[in-house]
Chains A and B, each alone.
Chain A
Amino acid sequence: MLKRFAAIASGPLLLAVLVVLLVWPLICLVSGSLHEGNSGGAWTLDNYTAIFQTRSSRVALFHSIWISLGVAAAAVVICLGPAWLFVRHDFPGKRIARAVLTLPMSFSGILIGFLCVIMLGRIGVVPRLMEWLTGTDYFSGTAYQLGGILIAYFYFEIPRATLSLESALRKLDPRLELAACSLGAGAWQRFTLVVLPQLWPALLATFALTFCVSLGSFGVVLIVAKRFSLLPLEVFEQIIAFNRYPLAAAMSVVLLAIALCASLTARWATHRLTHVR
C-alpha cells in the first residue's frame, strides 16, 4: 500500500515542486512581458518592439551575443589543452593544477570583475609592472575596455570548459588512435582525422554551455562596464533604476529564448553527429 503510494505520488510531487519553483514563474515572466504596466494592464507587444527600437538595448543585445560567441569559441579551443593534459598525461602537480583551474567555478561575476580591475585597472598590478619594466604603463585601464571584459568572461569559463571537455576526452577510445598510429598517421594527423571527428559533439556541447553561461552573467559588467553594456545589465538597470518590470521581463524572455535555442541546437547537433556514424 505504502509502496504503491510512494511510487504513484513521488513523480507528481516532484513535478509540483518544479512547477512552483520554475514553471509558474516562467509563465508569469512571459505574461508580464506581454502587459503594459507593472501590475497587469492591456496585452501588448510593445515591450518587445521597444528592445529593438531603443538603440542602447539593441546594441547591448548585439554585444551580448557576439561577446558570448567569441568567449565560448576561445574557451573551447584553449581549454582543450589542459583537458587533454589532465586526461592523457601524467605530470607532477597534476592534482594541484586541476584544483587551481577549477577554482573560478564558484566565483561570482562581481568577484571576477573585481579581480580584473585589480590586475588591469587604471593603477592595476599589470600596468604597474609594465611601468616598472618598460617605463610606460601599458594595459592601464584595459579592465574597462573590451579586452578586459573578454578576459574576465574567459576567466569565468576556464573551469566550465575544461571540466566539460575533460569528461568528453575520457570517453574517447584510445584504441582508435593506436590503430591510426599503426597505419602510419602522425600525431597531427591522428588529432585531426581521428580525435576531432569523434570530439565534435562534445566541442559543440561545451560551446553551447559556455555560451549560455556568458550570456546570462552580468556580475562582471556590473563592476567593469564603463562604455560597454550587455543585455543582462540592461535588464538589471531597467529594474533598479527605472522600475520598468514589463520591459525587463521582455528582455529576460529574449535572453531565455537565445539560451534555450543555443542548448537545443547543440543537443540536436550532438544527437545527429553521434547517430549518423
Chain B
Amino acid sequence: MMTPATIEAAELTLERAGESIPPRVRARRRSTAKLLLLALLAVILLVVISPVIVVVLGSFLNTSFLGLSSEQWVGDGTDANALITFQWFSYVLKLYQPQLLFSFQLAVLSVVVCILIGVPAGYLIARGSFPGRRWLEELLLLPLALPGIAISIALIQAYAVIRGRWYFVLFGHLIYTLPFMARCVAGTLRSFDCAALERAAQSLGAGPWQRFFFVVLPSLRHAITLGALLVFAVSFGEFNVSFLLMTPLTATFPSALYATYTFNSFQVSSAATVVFLAVILPVLALIQWLGGDELSKVEQGA
C-alpha cells in the first residue's frame, strides 16, 4: 500500500538519485523498449494501411498489368491497354447514385435528430437529478454492446407495419448514433463545473431557457460538433442494421458496396470502396483533428 507520503518521498529520492545517474544510460535503457514498441506499431500500421492503398490503386489502374486479375472488361470505346482509367468511377456513380444519395440524407437526418434528442439527453444524464437517472443512462448506452443484427430483427418484429418506409432505416441508425452524441455531450458537461456557470447566470437574472441557450449550449459547441461528425460517420458506414431493415428502394450505400463485392469485378468494387472512403475519410480526419485525446473516451462500440 502506498500513501501519498511514500510517493512524495520516493519522488524526492528519485530526483536526488537522478543527478547521479548519467542521463545517457537512462535514455538508452528506455529506447530499446521504445524501439520494440515502434516496430510493433509499424507492423500494425502496415497491416491497416496496405489494403487501403491497394484498393485505391486498383480503382483506377489497369490491374491486369499487376497480375491481380486475369482480364479486364472495358466499356465501349475505351482503350483496353490504357494504364489509368477512371471509367469505373463513372460506372459506380451512375449505377449507385440513389443509394449514395439516400445514405447521405440518412446520415444528415441522423445528425439532425441526434442534435435534437441526443443533446438534451446528454444534458439530462449528466446534470439531471431525478430518480432512475443512472438506469436511464445505462439504457441509453446499452445498444453499443448489442449485436446489430439482433437489434434489426427486434425492430422488424416490433414494427413490421412500417417496414419498407425510409424512416424505418432511420430508426435503426438512431439506436446506434444517439449514444455517441449523448456520450460526447455528457462527457463535456462532466469535465467542468457547469452548475457553477449556471448559478452565476441565474444570479445575473437569466431564466432557465436563457441559461440553456446562452450558457450551456455555447460551452457544448465543441462536443456537439464532434458528436455530429461521429454520428455522420457511424450512420454513413452502418451496414449490419440497415441491411435487414431496408428494402431495394431504401438501400444504403454500404449495401451497394456489398452488391459490388458479390457481383462485380475487382475494379468496380474498388471504385465503389474509394467513393465510400472519399466521403468518410474527410469526416474521420476532422474527428481526429478536433477530437484528439477525448476520442478515446467517446469512440467505442460498433
What residues make up the interface of A, taking CB atoms closer than 8 Å to B? 2-3, 6-7, 10-11, 14-15, 17-18, 21-29, 31-32, 78-79, 81-82, 84-85, 89, 91, 95, 97-111, 113-119, 123, 125, 128, 151, 155, 158-160, 163-164, 166-167, 170, 175-176, 178-183, 187, 209, 212-213, 215-219, 222-223, 232, 235-236, 239, 245, 248-249, 252-253, 255-256, 259-260, 262-263
Contacts and interface: CB of A to CB of B under 8 A. Distances in A.
B158 A170 contact: no
Interface in B95-145: 117, 120-121, 124, 128, 130, 132-133, 136, 139-140, 142-143, 145
A239 B44 contact: no
A108 B52 CA distance: 14
B153 A248 contact: yes
Nearest to A84: B37
B152 to A, nearest CB: 9
A85 B11 contact: no
28 contacts: A2-B209, A22-B143, A25-B159, A29-B157, A78-B44, A82-B40, A85-B34, A85-B37, A95-B288, A101-B45, A102-B288, A105-B233, A106-B236, A114-B55, A118-B266, A125-B54, A151-B47, A158-B44, A178-B10, A212-B146, A213-B302, A218-B149, A218-B240, A232-B147, A232-B149, A239-B153, A239-B244, A259-B146
Given A25-B151, A119-B54, A182-B17, 14 more contacts: A28-B154, A29-B154, A81-B37, A106-B283, A178-B11, A182-B14, A187-B29, A213-B301, A217-B147, A232-B149, A239-B244, A259-B147, A260-B145, A262-B145
Contacts of A218: 149, 240
A114 B34 contact: no
Given A11-B136, A105-B284, A256 B7 contact: no
B158 to A, nearest CB: 4
Interface stretch (B74-82, B189-197, B218-226, B291-299): B291-299
Contact of A108 (B29, B37, B254, B297): B254
Contact of B154 (A26, A166, A222): A26
B25 interface: no
B174 interface: yes
B194 to A, nearest CB: 16
A93 to B, nearest CB: 10
B148 A216 contact: yes
A106 B280 contact: yes
A170 B292 CA distance: 13
Nearest to B283: A106
B155 interface: yes
Contacts of B58: 118
Nearest to B255: A110
A216 B157 contact: no
A54 B259 CA distance: 30
A15 B140 CA distance: 9
B237 A107 contact: yes
B240 A219 contact: yes
A8 B243 CA distance: 38
B2 interface: yes
Given A82-B40, A82-B44, A99-B285, A217 B302 contact: yes
Contacts of A179: 2, 6-7, 10-11, 14
A106 B300 contact: no
Contact of A81 (B40, B69, B120, B147): B40
Nearest to B266: A118
B150 A163 contact: no
